[in-house]
A and B are shown apart, each in its own frame.
Chain A
């Protein structure tokens, strides 16, 4: 149980375009979902926290107008990178937290974004 999927697993796009990444909890309802970014050989950096039906809470330094997060249902959250630039190239990972659980977060497999 507690499986999270992401789509796509990798994407290459041109500078200036927008990219949408989907995060789905497959066998549980995720009341809270988190989006992280990870650069090579570095730790996970939290970008934002989203609760179903509410606006996302962004970490300091993360541009909310550039990284649009939607959490429309208890099993789906999306991250849209708008007007992507090469510096946005990274590994994006989402996680879901079951309602009522202590704080167990289950991570998706990640999405490798490369902006040319």
Chain B
């Protein structure tokens, strides 16, 4: 089955700096890669996703890049703000064509944005 590794487990940045979180996946059949933000005591919130037919996607301060050859994808947050502090999870799926639509999650990154 799919295995997703995520690094780092914790990340501290100064407000205004950029933050980068990296994930690798094992199954080359995976073709959908979402990122979720989870605040304490709440459910995960989808913040951005990318499909395997594109290499990069951007939404304001958030961007995701995908390298299918190397089987890794990354989340980039620019101009970080204190409200960006949360746990971020990457995930991988084989989309509607296989894998039962299941998402395989990374282990999470605790991001702390310091003033």
B: number of interface residues (CB 8 Å): 23
Query: In the complex, which residues 1-56 of chain A have their Cβ closer than 8 Å to any Cβ of chain B?
Result: 4, 6, 32, 34, 42-44, 46, 49
Given contacts A43-B106, A102-B32, A102-B51, contact A107 B43 (CB under 8 A): yes
Q: Could you tell me if A110 and B105 are in contact, using CB atoms closer than 8 angstroms?
A: no
Q: Could you tell me if B101 and A49 are in contact, using CB atoms closer than 8 angstroms?
A: yes
Interface of B is mostly: mixed
Among candidates B43, B93, B101, B107, residue contacting A110 with C-beta atoms closer than 8 Å: B43
Q: Could you tell me if B95 and A57 are in contact, using CB atoms closer than 8 angstroms?
A: no
Which stretch from B13-21, B34-42, B63-71 is at the chain A interface?
B34-42
Q: Could you tell me if B100 and A103 are in contact, using CB atoms closer than 8 angstroms?
A: no
Query: In the complex, which residues 35-58 of chain B have their Cβ closer than 8 Å to any Cβ of chain A?
Result: 36, 41-46, 49, 51
When distances are taken between beta carbons in the complex, the residues of chain B under 8 Å from A100 are 96
Where the two chains meet, the residues of B that have a C-beta atom closer than 8 Å to any C-beta of A are 32, 34, 36, 41-46, 49, 51, 89, 93, 95-96, 100-103, 105-108
Where the two chains meet, the residues of A that have a C-beta atom closer than 8 Å to any C-beta of B are 4, 6, 32, 34, 42-44, 46, 49, 57, 93, 95, 97, 100-110, 112
